[in-house]
Amino acid sequence: MAEEFKEIGPGVEFREPNKSSKSNGGQTTGLVLKKEVGLISGITLIIGTMIGSGIFISPKGVLLGSGSIGLTLLVWAGCGVIALGGSISYVELGTAIRMSGAEYAYILKGMGELPAFLFAWTSVIVLKPSSVAAIAVAFAEYATQPFFPGCTPPAPIMKLLAVFCIGKLGQH
């Protein structure tokens, strides 16, 4: 029952079975992820997943497309309800399927290995990098606007700042 844990890095530990016990009770040994998502970190994870950086990019487009402030607020409230439904679904999946891996684990459990692998591959190759690029471009646009009041900042400056932002994110 007693096992030794050695922390390898943030969120990862090495689990060794106790020498005196003959079996480890069905638990895995070796490198395992720590299960340390608390209430606050879970809430921020879900908010970050559901809302993301779109909230900083789209208000102008929604206002221009709707034509009035009242309709814009209704659209945002409707989108908030949809995001709440998605968040509640994540909470229910997280409590029903107690595996690490978030979406990958849910797809693995519900649909099988091939769809889970395809999702993971697509996420790593396409979804996550494009999300980082969109966040960097939004950051570059907002960071350069104060230096060019009344006009659009030059595209090469925004692109260089976005590339710099991605480079700094890649160092962590």
Q: Nearest-CA neighbor of 89 among 44, 131, 54, 46?
A: 46
Q: How confident is the model at residue 142 (pLDDT cuts 50, 70, 90)?
A: confident
Mean pLDDT of the chain: 78
Lowest pLDDT segment from 6-20, 107-121, 130-144: 6-20
Query: What angle separates helix 59-66 from helix 69-96, to the nearest 10 degrees?
Result: 130
Higher confidence at residue 10 or residue 156?
156
Query: Cα–chain-centroid distance for residue 97?
Result: 18
Alpha helices in 3-151 (DSSP H): 39-50, 54-57, 59-66, 69-96, 103-111, 113-122, 128-144
Q: What is the model's pLDDT at position 144?
A: 92
Q: What is the model's pLDDT at position 117?
A: 92
pLDDT 10s digits, 48-99: 666 666 666 677 788 888 888 999 889 888 988 988 888 888 888 888 888 8
pTM of the shown model: 0.57
SS3 state at 102: coil
